[in-house]
A and B are shown apart, each in its own frame.
Chain A
Amino acid sequence: MNPGSVPAKFKVRIDADQCMLCERCVENCPYGTYRREGEHISVDSRRCVACHRCVAMCPRDSITIEEKPVDYRSHPLWTRESREAIYNQARTGRIVLAGMGNASDLPIIFDRLLLDACQVTNPSIDPLREPMELRTYIGKKPRKLDLRKKRNGDIELKTRLHPNLRLNTPIMIGHMSYGAISLNAQLSMARAVASEGTFMGTGEGGLHPALREFQDNMIVQVASGRFGVDIDYLERGAAIEIKIGQGAKPGIGGHLPGEKIDPDISQTRMIPERSDAISPAPHHDIYSIEDLKQLVHSLKEATEWKKPVFVKIAAVHNVAAIASGIARSSADAVVIDGFRGGTGAAPRVFRDHVGIPIEAAIAAVDQKLRSQGIRNEVSIIASGGIRDAAEVTKAIALGADAIYIGTAALIAMGCRVCGTCYRGLCPWGIATQNSSLTRRLNPDVEWQHVANLIRGWTLEISELMGAAGINSIESLRGNRDRLRGYLLDEAMMNILDVQPVGA
């Protein structure tokens, strides 16, 4: 068996009548799909990953890419993917890695939840003209206020508020490290969140000096590898996030291959050049929930209790109980990352088979925290495959305070979700450290695209809220009465605590 024995994934064709031999496809494809041969462009379709860089750059629209031109004899059980994984492992005896989020054909719960709107019995609010408040505070809130009446009759507030992040929109950008993505990609997102009054995560890759001007809008991450973590880093962040796990690969660590550790990344992460950056599966100072409390307290002590500390976990079966334990650790927010969360590379068996949908996880966590009377003690940030403003709105109605986007922000900068991030040759300059490729991503242009995306979604959330007669986002949060389930089974509706359509 040789590599050529499985069919090519894509068939690339160039319309010779259209092509003007400008060779932009040749220059733009880092995978070597195109070659100039005399008076035509020759194509090696087997190299193509369908990243669409050539399609975007071709001035004549001459390129056609067809998926699965030669497929296998169809079989409902033995899919192409299952067969090819076997060929691959028979050849290598290794773990199959894959990019992006869960690729299984499982129902998307968000698609089966429908939002409400006002008719007659209450007026919809026009967000064009009437006040619409999306301002969100992330962090611990008091359970009740302690007030004293002064002798002159004035009310004195005795309660001290905990540090919170103030967001102008409930949309943040999650953690994608420098290393996993390029500095230009991080710079674009950082400028975007600063302009829109929200936040982004640094990922477990330290904070590059070029990002310091945006540090007031950045959440620094402490993960199991502790890359780039020192007191200066902790002090620079607006908040600190402890990463326990991520939705794309719950229960396992991460691995940035040595070939990506160039001098700059080596400096930011504080590790030697060209050696692998390995994040262990667990934090080796957290083997139990009480150890998590130790780390939260230690981070707070180090930063003088001035910054909120978040804890990020993958949405797994017992997510509600785990989140409740986190809430009691004095963490200020729990981040739940659903099983559709993206990643540069994850073992396929994890990506597609471990974890649960974010919709159910939000509902379960919110319910558990409420039943224990500690929902106000902690904010809920949800992430994992959130694709549009409607999903943000639904996530908040299920009980989230705010959401993280990841892949959506990358798409705003050009990513075509080809899922080939692990090759390090991202033709869009995102998931690569190759300077000839990262140059393609101009932060002075791309920040605007990311900012536009956040702004556009924020406008849409305002419209959805206004239509539901709600002018303040806290009245959307956990308002599951404004959701209906369509073709969801009864057990799922019980978990989500939503009524079926028509009820």
Chain B
Amino acid sequence: MAVVDLLSGACAVRPAEDADAVDGVPAQAVARPADAQETSALLRACHDAGLAVVVRGHGSKITWGRAPERVDVVLETGGMAGLVEHSRGDLVATAGAGMPLDRLGELLAEARHQLVVDDLAAGRGADGAGSTLGGAVATGMCGPRRLWAGPVRDLVIGVRLVLADGTVARSGGKVVKNVAGYDLAKLLTGSYGTLAVITEVTVRLHPEPQEEVSVRARVSPDRLEATLALLVRSQLAPHTLEVSAAPGSDPLVTVGLGGSPGGTRQRADAVATSLASPDLAGGSVAVVDPGTPEDELPSGLADVDQQDSPAGTSTTRPVLVRTTGRLSGIPELVRVATDQGFGVTGSAGVGVLHARLPEETPPEQAHHALEQLRATSLRLGGSTVVLDAPPAVKSGLDAEATWGPVPGLDLMRRVKAEFDPGRLLAPGRFVGGL
């Protein structure tokens, strides 16, 4: 029986088209469950038939990680895109996994609330729709403002999930403080859809600052260390501390502040004054108000992506890397990255950078650059992960070269074997070929 016929009793299903291929791996059917129950019915049917399932929101990060070994069914989360609850007094919200991040932002803004997750894949995916909530959680996507509010793993306080065999379960809840049972939400965050399908997410919200101001400074590479050390130690509680650098040009350091009217500006001026020291940025410091023409602030990955394509139109597949290290090692990581030809941007206040090689970089050169960057990040207590790459580069990277050394890999294999013993969820996409 055709896959579509086999699954049609579970939820809406259509035959897959060429565009539904996942990182070059063709699919047979696209299923669109409307809720956790339909997801359960679908997965049970897939489980019984041994069909491999890859979850897709808007597809903005569908090529991240390794290409799956096989794809029978693409499970679209777009049918689960509703806001279930926004408890204003509790600063929490629950939404379907398919909820677009930007739509969620609009809904929360009515109460001057926000989910502090920066959409690094804005402008990508179906019609440039960017990330969904589920996609952000599944890839552990974090941008500049994690310095302020923490990474997405710390903002997710509850999930509803469906296991590969169709079991529907819940972890966490809708209160911020809760230590009852294992925190499966953390386990699923960043698991790339290989352990379970997330159907609903409850998140912690933050109030929108009343005022936001940024300070931008161009510093020479030899002053980057002193500049970042000063800012990391600052007591001005910045919401973001970003560094961007391209080969051959001076790094740009951006400090984002948010808070009370007047107070924020006062703090921004204090940051600007510190940075203007001749030992640091000297004269090249600017205080930038949001919404002004000068407000072209780096926003993590989007900025890297936009180095040679306008926002929202990027269809390129550069070698896209997340590289991390201890805070004091960030200047070195930036230097090595740019020496190897990477454009780099990221959270200097957290220790996570995103780096990018142009799509036309020859595979051998790309592989060499990756090795150099990885060696540096490992020495600095971090890691280097290849999020995406052009097919020519990706085909030369096995799971180990994609993800790098993984502490606790054997335990991870055991976790995968418990959650998805049949290897039906995005097989091969994740670390160690899981």
A and B: real partners?
A: no
A residues apposed to B, CB below 8 Å: none
B residues apposed to A, CB below 8 Å: none
